[in-house]
Structure 1
Amino acid sequence: MGRYDRRVAVITGAARGIGFGIAQRLASEGASIAILDLDEAAAQEAAGRLELADGARAVGIGCDVVDTAAAEAAVQRVVDELGGIHVLVNNAGITRDNLLFKMTEEDWDLVMNVHLKGVFNMTKAAQSRFVEQKYGKILNLSSVSALGNRGQANYSAAKMGIQGLTRTLGIELGPFGITANAIAPGFIVTEMTDATARRLKMEPEELQRLNAEATPVRRVGQPEDIAAAAAFLCSDEASFITGQTLYVDGGRKLG
């Protein structure tokens, strides 16, 4: 028996990177998985790559989490196709990095909308089902950048906002059998961090080396590191933990 047998987990932005890593970990422990992504073809392809436990299923659904109606429709589709929803992982995110004097209003609004409005939309769509069944696990992805990071005024503000939202969800939804927590990853090797390296005109391996040297455990993170923490926080073993943000960063927050 896996920890997630007969559970249905929805992970946004899960066609690749951290989201896919979480999807695969929950699938390996018995969950049926709904991968949501802006690109439905990519979501379906990713769902097809999951290694599922016996009896579990996976679907890939296209969804713009900023669109309130689309978020509600995606959750309803998950319930219709997989038979319910028990876990929601709000992972979808983007970066539009720049120094403040160069940052455009569009860059600010886009990052805020995806990270904050997207979490709001998906959580509101899921919580009505969670409240009805008196059970639900919400996990939001924050970042060590919430503590401040040069060139990321928009991203840092959004990721700290997620931590405040998570605490509030813990307070409001706890009486209904729902927990809400967040993970704040450090440097994780993904396509997004590779793109950051190229934007800085360096090879991804060089950026990884520099970040490993600045990390107390002397390595960078992998999606599997975040997935392991997610698998615990979304499980019944963590039923007395809510409103918390866990930094999974190899000790960077300590510096």
Structure 2
Amino acid sequence: MVNYNLEDKVVLVTGANNPSGIGAATARVFAKEGAKVFITYYRTSPEHYGVDYEEAKAASEPGMPLYHYLRTKNAKEVVDSILTDGGLADSWETDLRDPDNVSNLLDRVESKFGSVDVLVNNAAEYRNNDSIDTVTAEDIEGIYSVNVKATLLLISEFVNRHKRYKKKWGRIVNLSTGPSQCFVGQISYGSSKAAIEAFTRSIAFELGPLGITVNTVAPGATQTGYITIKAEQELIPT
């Protein structure tokens, strides 16, 4: 069995309240490796994406209604699952679109577990009508403020504290998406993920001498509650 040397490392995972999501799965794996996991998240209403709340709440099968209901949950279910398995975890809800919340978040993590060793930037925003003929200024701002601006500010705050505490080891993992370079129908979202991949490369060169590695993970279609059973059968080879 591989020892990843994560015992007692402090890990911050953003966007991990969906119990079926990538962020939640990431948090659970780190906790199983002995890390102290802090989850941050921001709940969004189904109506924001054109889905009726009652329809979303009643959904029993994967699809957009169920997915948007899962996004209304706080992180208690995820945290409790980690605690039940003997891990350490805590959470805090905050809107990362507000730059002031970035330093507040790191302060809160430090007061609970100590300084952050591993930063996983998983939080992301998307919009339904993100084609070039329907995209709006509000859509672009909403997506880029989370996917790009908040990610960069979190990395900057993480690095400044790394230097302040004279740490020699750190890890940053940024979440992108498989079709980031060509995402038809998701112009702003796809390009925001392409931006993440671009600045990850630049930041990796800057931070290597500090003992910090910076990488991007770009998953393909992942069942986080939104892929219908029919679509899942078509996507997964038999």
Q: Which TM-score band applies after superposition, normalised by the shorter structure?
A: 0.7 to 0.9
| 1:51, distance to aligned residue in structure 2 (A) | 4.5
For the Cα contact (< 8 Å) 2:200–2:214, is it kept in 1?
yes
Question: In the TM superposition, what are the counterparts of 1:93-112 in structure 2 within 5 Å?
Answer: 93-98=124-129, 99-112=131-144
For the Cα contact (< 8 Å) 2:13–2:122, is it kept in 1?
yes
**1:55-81 deviation per Cα after TM superposition (whole angstroms, max 9, x unaligned):** x52111112122111011111110111
For the Cα contact (< 8 Å) 1:13–1:35, is it kept in 2?
yes
- Corresponding position: 1:75 with 2:106: yes
Aligned to 2:57: none
Deviating above 3 A after TM superposition, structure 1's stretches of 4 or more consecutive aligned residues are 51-54
Aligned to 1:241: none
Aligned to 1:58: 89
CA distance in 2: counterparts of 1:184 and 1:31, whole angstroms:
23
CA distance in 1: counterparts of 2:209 and 2:4, whole angstroms:
26
Find the residue that maps to 2:216 and give its secondary structure: strand
**1:204-240 deviation per Cα after TM superposition (whole angstroms, max 9, x unaligned):** 112212322xxxxx27xxxxxxxxxxxxxxxxxxxxx
Q: TM-score normalized by structure 2?
A: 0.79
| 1:3, distance to aligned residue in structure 2 (A) | 2.9
Of residues 28, 36, 39, the one that matches 1:35 is 39
* Matched letter for residue 141 of structure 2: D
| 1:2, distance to aligned residue in structure 2 (A) | 6.3
* Matched letter for residue 101 of structure 2: A
Cα 1:53–1:32 change in 2 (3 A) is: farther
Question: In the TM superposition, what are the counterparts of 1:207-222 in structure 2 within 5 Å?
Answer: 207-212=231-236, 218=237
| 1:41, distance to aligned residue in structure 2 (A) | 7.2
Aligned to 1:14: 16
Question: In the TM superposition, what are the counterparts of 1:133-148 in structure 2 within 5 Å?
Answer: 133-148=167-182
Find the residue that maps to 1:154 and give its secondary structure: helix
Structure 2 unaligned blocks of 5 or more: 44-71
RMSD of the TM alignment (CA)? 2.0
Find the residue that maps to 1:102 and give its secondary structure: coil
Aligned to 1:185: 219
Higher helix share: 1
* Matched letter for residue 183 of structure 2: N
Cα 1:20–1:47 change in 2 (3 A) is: same
Aligned to 1:120: 152
Find the residue that maps to 2:6 and give its secondary structure: coil
CA distance in 2: counterparts of 1:177 and 1:127, whole angstroms:
11
For the Cα contact (< 8 Å) 1:65–1:114, is it kept in 2?
yes
| 1:134, distance to aligned residue in structure 2 (A) | 2.2
Q: Provide the identity percentage.
A: 30
For the Cα contact (< 8 Å) 1:30–1:52, is it kept in 2?
no
